[in-house]
């Protein structure tokens, strides 16, 4: 396609641009009547390195009439249809959350809530400790992490953090039910879904306070439905990153649930403190790699200082106990990257803790440091976006596995900085990153299933593949373009000189391009809530 747009649409107020690769002028036409509602001249941006496209920009920011539209160029090209409207991401916000329900493990998904994607109960057999197989434990529940059936503590903590902070900052955005079994119980469905994962995390903690790194089979399951996966499950050894992540997210949960379910909040805080105590008695980094022959996700890390800092910050906020202030300062002093909200580099979550600190419990200098770092990094990302014809905050060498997560997390950074600074430029940057994810990219795909006329629809996801010709569940986020693919199909099909933004295929075998995972969805939970909350 020669016209790339946000295939979902645009808010009436705020920046609105589309990318054309041919022509000099454009018309914005009404869907149905084909009447011209707006027209203009394309601004030539020149050759864009990341896409290899000769980019021309249509800026229609000043057009704010709600409706359904499409573009035509004087080169004869026609775009997908899209909308301009308020509450633009209301449905998307619900669907990216509902996607977590489809990932539930340890239970059946009923047709009442899952429709044609219903399946029987799965993965309820006890798991054996990998190093002591005679020790078995019930760790049923939680979410399947990605296109596989593994469940990983650090990945879980990351996704939960994005979602729980989204509730802390924008609680009113979660009043509408999303149609899951718990809907209507008086608790926001965002928290209902988080609690399903948290109940599983409780099971991953050992008596001494430490936390297992993951529970998986020794090798990934075949492409079968989850209830058909009968492989033995193993609990992989505890790690200091998993234990610190557990402490942090449980303390955060205690804060979130304090006025909703005091008993649950107390249980979460007690578990967090127990994990913290174990961590402090085990100051050396601990992580055990997969044994030979095991191919499930490692979620390997090389440092736990950022995880420990996040745990200290959240425990300080949850308890008000200044005994956590000194460890917080100590661990933060050892962290250089403070602006990432991922499963490996997690210190950015301390910044979210600072932002949620309404009682001013955290040290003032900590807040100042994070605001400075957030602003400085946003300036870097603004330069990246300005250098790209598609206005995405990625460097040419950053189209790697999960590049869409990088885009979404940088949009989160713009969002949290905007929450402190209140400058329109930050919101416009977020809109541009959402535009990229939803279709304004050189691959021409909306990277969210079910959203857009040309949305990706063949994710690397075992249930989807096993169901064959059924439609894919809505609301899942693809990993995105990857100029260094490592799966056989993508390596074969993508030519070596392909521009990085075009290194994408909607083929389920291409797991290094097209897998889904919980922590690629969770940033969009945060971002859609932010945008709906701040729309004019």
Q: pLDDT digit string (tens) for 285-297?
A: 999 999 999 999 9
pTM of the model: 0.98
State residue 311's pLDDT score: 98
Residue 157 lies in a domain: yes
Position 44 in a domain: no
pLDDT (0 to 100) of residue 470: 77
Let me know if residue 278 belongs to a domain: yes
Asked, for residue 431, whether it belongs to a domain, the answer is no
Helix (H, G, I), strand (E, B) or coil at 477: strand
Any domain includes 378:
no
Q: For position 308, what pLDDT does the model report?
A: 98
Mark 147-160 as b/e (b = at least 16 C-beta within 10 Å). bbbbbbbbbbbbbb
Hey, what are 126's tokens? 């006890």
**Residue 495's CB: how many other CB atoms inside 10 A?**
8
Q: For the segment 388-413, what is each residue's pLDDT rounded down to a tens digit?
A: 999 999 999 999 999 999 999 999 99
pLDDT class of 249 with cuts at 50, 70, 90: very high
Distance, in Å, from the CA atom of 156 to the CA atom of 150, rounded to the nearest integer, reads 11
Percent of the residues in the chain that have a pLDDT greater than 90, as a whole number:
99
Q: For residue 128, give the CATH number of its domain.
A: 1.50.10.10
Nearest 5 degrees, angle CA 209-CA 211-CA 215?
150
Q: Do residues 452 and 461 make contact, with C-beta atoms less than 8 angstroms apart?
A: no
User: What are 68's strand-pairing partners?
Assistant: 83
Do residues 83 and 69 make contact, with C-beta atoms less than 8 angstroms apart? yes
CB atoms within 10 A of CB 536: 10
Residues 257 and 162: their CA atoms lie apart, in Å, by 16
Angle at 313 between CA 307 and CA 318, to 5 degrees: 125
Give the per-residue pLDDT at 1. 72
Report the catalytic residues. 148, 460, 506, 515
DSSP state of 227: G
Long-range contacts of 370-379 (CB under 8 A, 24+ apart): 370/338, 371/417, 371/420, 373/338, 373/339, 374/338, 374/339, 374/413, 374/416, 374/417, 374/420, 375/417, 375/421, 377/339, 377/413, 378/413, 378/414, 378/417, 378/426, 378/429
Domain membership of residue 67 (yes or no) is: no
Compute the distance between CA of residue 160 and CA of residue 163 in angstroms, rounded to an integer: 5
Whether residue 261 is contained in a domain is answered as yes
Q: How many other β-carbons are positioned within 10 Å of the β-carbon of residue 364? A: 9
Report how many domains make up the chain. Answer: 1
Does 141 map to a domain? Answer: yes
pLDDT at 407: 98
Residues contacting residue 495 through CB under 8 Å, at least 6 positions apart: none
Kindly tell me if the per-residue pLDDT of 284 is higher than 90.
Answer: yes
Average pLDDT over residues 315-335: 97
Separation of alpha carbons 253 and 161, rounded Å? 9
Quote the domain boundaries for residue 119.
104-362
Percentages helix, strand, coil for the chain (3-state, rounded to 5) are 40, 15, 45
């Amino acid at each position: 396609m020669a016209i790339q747009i946000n295939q979902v649409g645009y808010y009436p107020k705020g920046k609105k641009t589309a990318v054309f690769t041919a022509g000099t002028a454009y018309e914005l036409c009404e869907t149905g009547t084909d009447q011209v509602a707006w027209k203009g001249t394309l601004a030539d941006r020149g050759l864009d390195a990341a896409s290899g496209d000769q980019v021309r920009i249509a800026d229609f920011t000043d057009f704010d009439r709600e409706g359904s539209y499409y573009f035509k160029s004087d080169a004869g090209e026609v775009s997908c249809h899209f909308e301009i409207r308020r509450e633009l991401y209301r449905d998307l916000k619900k669907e990216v959350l509902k996607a977590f329900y489809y990932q539930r493990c340890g239970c059946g998904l009923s047709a009442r809530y899952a429709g044609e994607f219903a399946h029987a109960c799965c993965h309820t057999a006890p798991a054996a400790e990998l190093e002591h197989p005679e020790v078995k434990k019930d760790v049923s529940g939680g979410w399947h992490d990605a296109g596989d059936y593994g469940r990983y503590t650090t990945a879980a903590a990351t996704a939960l953090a994005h979602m729980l902070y989204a509730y802390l900052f924008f609680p009113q955005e979660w009043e509408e039910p999303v149609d899951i079994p718990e809907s209507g119980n008086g608790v926001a469905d965002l928290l209902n879904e988080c609690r399903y994962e948290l109940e599983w995390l409780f099971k991953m903690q050992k008596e001494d306070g430490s936390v297992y790194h993951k529970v998986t089979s020794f090798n990934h399951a075949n492409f079968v439905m989850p209830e058909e996966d009968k492989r033995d499950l193993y609990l992989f050894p505890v790690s200091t990153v998993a234990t610190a992540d557990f402490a942090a997210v449980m303390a955060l949960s205690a804060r979130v649930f304090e006025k909703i379910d005091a008993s649950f909040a107390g249980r979460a805080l007690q578990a967090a403190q127990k994990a913290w105590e174990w961590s402090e008695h085990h100051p050396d980094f601990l992580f055990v790699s997969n044994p030979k022959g095991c191919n499930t996700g490692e979620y390997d890390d090389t440092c736990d200082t950022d995880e420990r800092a996040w745990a200290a910050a959240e425990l300080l906020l949850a308890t008000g106990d200044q005994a956590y202030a000194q460890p917080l300062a100590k661990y933060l002093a050892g962290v250089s990257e403070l602006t990432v909200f991922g499963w490996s580099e997690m210190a950015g979550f301390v910044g979210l803790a600072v932002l949620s600190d309404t009682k001013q419990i955290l040290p003032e200098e900590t807040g100042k440091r994070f605001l400075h770092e957030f602003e400085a990094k946003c300036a870097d990302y603004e330069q990246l976006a300005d250098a790209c014809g598609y206005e995405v905050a990625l460097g040419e060498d950053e189209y790697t596995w999960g590049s869409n997560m990088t885009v979404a997390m940088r949009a989160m950074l713009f969002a949290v900085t905007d929450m402190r600074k209140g400058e329109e430029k930050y919101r416009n940057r977020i809109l541009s990153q959402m535009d990229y994810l939803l279709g304004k990219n050189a691959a021409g795909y909306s990277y969210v299933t079910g959203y857009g006329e040309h949305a990706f629809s063949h994710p690397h996801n075992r249930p989807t593949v096993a169901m064959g010709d059924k439609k894919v569940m809505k609301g899942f986020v693809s990993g995105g373009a990857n100029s260094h693919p490592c799966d056989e199909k993508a390596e074969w099909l993508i030519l070596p000189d392909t521009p990085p933004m075009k290194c994408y295929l909607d083929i389920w075998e291409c797991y290094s391009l097209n897998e889904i995972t919980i922590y690629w969805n969770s940033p969009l939970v945060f971002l859609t809530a932010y945008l709906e909350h701040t729309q004019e």
